[in-house]
Structure 1
Amino acid sequence: MEGLLDTEEFCCSICLDLLKDPVAIPCGHSYCMECINDYWRKNDHLGVFSCPQCGQTFSPRPVLNRNTILADMVDKLKKLELLGDSQIYDNCVPGDVTCDFCTSIKQKAVKSCLVCLASYCQNHLQAHYKSPALKKHKLIEAFVNLQEKICPHHDKYLEMYCRTDQQCICLLCVMDEHKGHDTVPAAVESTKKQVKKKKKNYLSCSA
């Protein structure tokens, strides 16, 4: 059954997910209606619109209509459960963090956002580099249990370490219940512990 349909043929080359409200543009390539509209909206002032895949240009802007045949085929694909409860994982190995925004074919996450509390593959991460508002978000290496990195009291990143209470805290904690305590950046404390651990292992091996 799986060989009957190639799921990649029903994926939008802009969002890389299964086509939603699929439309075919004059050159023959298909996209999600929202994706191609967003792509063309950036060139409204130029009056020339191109295909993201082949580069063919159109003027005026083509009128888009939902491709009902293609939409039905995507629905059948979902009903066959090729992508239903058992998701397809691309370029992922056990233990990898997967992208929270890949709905069909899961890609490996490369970064996690401490503001969105979500992990992103290289493609879905682009918005964080391009959008002025998202550029201010704090990105870290992809992390499985993001909630563990967030302060339960202030919903802020645990970027400090309180040596007095021996726990990770956020900047608001430093100003609040941990005021006056011996605090350092969490990265500094982590590096210190790694050095001490290596030194201890070296001494035990030398004994």
Structure 2
Amino acid sequence: MRRSLALLVSALVVVACSGDGDIADFGPGAPTADAPELPADRGLDVTTVEEPGEVPPEDAELTEADWPAAAAWIRRENEAGRPVVINFFASFCEPCKRELPLLLDTAARETDVAFLGVHTNEQRALGEQMVEEYGIVFPTLHDPTGDVVFEVGGRGLPHTVAFDTEGRLVSRVFGELTETSLDRLIDEAR
């Protein structure tokens, strides 16, 4: 069942970002009538996720990772007293590309918050091109199967989530970030 839901989420990611850059509106975070409930819809706490064999490095650059590895990365930042903002992106997602300058500027300014990019649902080489082209300097993970986006309740791209310093998912934005929505995410994580 989990695999079927992950495939559905992957399909939604592609549908949400295909075409001329239209943003799929999935509402304020609750499941829609056509979307199945996902694990994160009932709350998500990274402290309950089993430790992986290896934690991605603090300065990861497209390190391949699944949900346990991403959760461990979040926990490490939490132990240092930092909330975490995770932005999911892919090269086929035009709104993802448009919001990257805002994310990069905010990450440079908000040094007490950890930012993590997760390149999802496509080949690593495409993520490498995006990291280089857009000058992404915050840590990034490569999630080729969509495992991480599935676990946090993603229903398309762009999707950005925030975890507080206790490892709890506290806020999300479905769709392209604005300065206001990103500031709200950060405030709710603090």
**Band the TM-score falls in, shorter-chain normalisation:** under 0.3
The two structures have a TM-score, normalised by structure 2, of: 0.25
Higher CA-based Rg: 1
The two structures have a TM-score, normalised by structure 1, of: 0.24
More helix by percentage: 2
Higher relative contact order at CA 8 Å, sep ≥6: structure 1 or structure 2? 2
